[in-house]
């Protein structure tokens, strides 16, 4: 599948998920108002953040599909990273608001009245819808940081729906109203780790760190093992967005490579090595003779 086809497939997945989440959000908001459930309202708030996040993810995917230009030489793929950043911040905000509301209800439990039956019905509907949206997004979650952010948000909603169902059953069978606030706190506690994981991945990309699954030392070994290579230095590995690593290096080669005109062959070998063994499709090598490498700036070593 080409990169353009991948973006088109992601857009279609996001459109389907947006339709599902938008419908369930309305049902949850009405259900929370009727039942008086904070847990259901918390899940609706999380669902609202999901809807906003999915729309942002859709816009980021559309922008990321635009071709490169003289001004944006790598294209707009990093728009997906900014979309993931906004998603992560939304998740943190929802977790904080839910936590404050839940603590308030636990401190003053007598002011809360929860109708468990509509709470349970709405939560079951939300669970089924979240499962459907999750299945739609799952195939793309492993290839795009933007799609992974959308997937994690919907997954959080699915878990939230299960917690709301559990709280509704507890209230229905025992009359223990604080179960609603407790479920809200658990939902908030589940949101935060996923938000921080997403923000960590965003920081890794924006700080141009080497991708987590890239072993730079192993790449050096492969390059040094290529026929005609004497040394390699000034190595840089980073990612434009998740799944799009970029590699550059200065490669010191034997004099006979230049004399025999084998530089083209060597470049092909190096590029194929990175593409086949490390999934690096965008690599740049500067070939240089030993005498040139000897007087390069010491900072480049």
pLDDT at 165: 92
CA atoms within 13 A on the CB side of 117: 0
Tokens of 113: 């009245």
How does residue 299 score in pLDDT terms, banded at 50, 70 and 90?
very low
Question: By C-alpha distance, which of 234, 255, 151, 131 is closest to 197?
Answer: 151
Share of the chain above pLDDT 70, in %: 87
Q: What is the mean pLDDT of residues 61-90?
A: 75
- CA distance readout (Å), 253 to 96, 161, 294: 57, 60, 12
Class of the CATH-defined domain 216-300 = alpha beta
Q: Is the whole-model pTM more than 0.75?
A: no
Which one has a higher pLDDT value, 70 or 100? 100
Give the model confidence (pLDDT) of 30-64 as tens digits: 888 888 888 888 788 777 777 877 787 777 667 76
Give the model confidence (pLDDT) of 192-213 as tens digits: 887 888 888 888 888 888 777 7
Share of the chain above pLDDT 90, in %: 4
- CATH: 1.20.1510.10, 3.10.580.10, 2.60.120.20, 3.40.50.620. Which one for 3-206? 1.20.1510.10
What backbone torsions phi and psi does residue 72 show, to the nearest 5 degrees?
-105, 80
249 beta partners: 285
pLDDT at 2 over 50: no
Tokens of 257: 């490579």
Q: What is the mean pLDDT of the chain?
A: 80
Indicate the range of 31-40, 79-88, 289-298 predicted with least confidence. 289-298
Domains 3-206 and 216-300 share a fold: no
CA–CA distance, 254 with 232 (Å, rounded to integer):
12
Other Cβ atoms within 10 Å of 180 Cβ, number: 30
Tokens of 260: 């025999």
How does residue 1 score in pLDDT terms, banded at 50, 70 and 90?
very low
CA–CA distance, 16 with 9 (Å, rounded to integer):
11
Residue with tokens 């589940």: 190
Q: What is the mean pLDDT of residues 217-227?
A: 87
User: Domain ranges in the chain?
Assistant: 3-206, 216-300
Q: What is the mean pLDDT of residues 59-74?
A: 72
Give the model confidence (pLDDT) of 125-170 as tens digits: 989 988 888 888 777 666 666 677 777 778 878 888 898 899 999 9
pLDDT at 88: 83
Helices 3-35 and 145-174 pack at an angle, to 10 degrees, of 20
Give the model confidence (pLDDT) of 231-253 as tens digits: 888 888 888 776 678 888 898 88
CA–CA distance, 25 with 299 (Å, rounded to integer):
55
Q: What is the mean pLDDT of residues 260-265?
A: 84
């Amino acid at each position: 599948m080409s990169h353009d086809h991948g973006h088109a497939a992601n857009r279609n997945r996001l459109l389907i998920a947006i339709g599902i989440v938008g419908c369930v959000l309305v049902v949850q908001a009405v259900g929370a108002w009727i039942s008086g459930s904070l847990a259901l309202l918390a899940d609706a708030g999380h669902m609202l953040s999901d809807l906003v996040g999915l729309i942002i993810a859709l816009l980021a995917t559309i922008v990321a599909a635009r071709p490169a230009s003289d001004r944006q030489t790598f294209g707009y793929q990093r728009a997906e990273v900014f979309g993931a950043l906004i998603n992560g911040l939304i998740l943190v905000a929802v977790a904080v608001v839910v936590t404050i509301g839940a603590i308030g209800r636990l401190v003053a439990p007598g002011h809360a009245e929860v109708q468990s039956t509509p709470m349970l019905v709405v939560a079951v509907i939300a669970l089924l819808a979240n499962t459907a949206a999750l299945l739609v997004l799952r195939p793309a979650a492993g290839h795009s940081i933007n799609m992974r952010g959308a997937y994690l948000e919907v997954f959080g909603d699915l878990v939230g729906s299960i917690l709301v169902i559990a709280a509704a059953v507890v209230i229905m069978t025992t009359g223990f109203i604080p179960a609603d606030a407790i479920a809200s706190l658990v939902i908030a506690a589940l949101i935060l780790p996923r938000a921080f994981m997403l923000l960590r991945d965003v920081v890794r990309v924006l700080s141009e760190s080497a991708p987590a699954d890239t072993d730079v030392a192993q790449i050096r070994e492969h390059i040094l093992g290529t026929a005609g290579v004497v040394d390699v230095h000034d190595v840089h590995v980073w990612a434009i967005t998740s799944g799009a690593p970029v590699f550059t290096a200065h490669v010191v080669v034997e004099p006979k490579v230049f004399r025999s005109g084998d530089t083209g062959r060597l470049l092909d070998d190096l590029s194929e090595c990175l593409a086949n063994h490390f999934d690096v499709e965008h690599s740049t090598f500067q070939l240089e003779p030993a005498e040139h490498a000897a007087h390069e700036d010491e900072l480049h070593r």
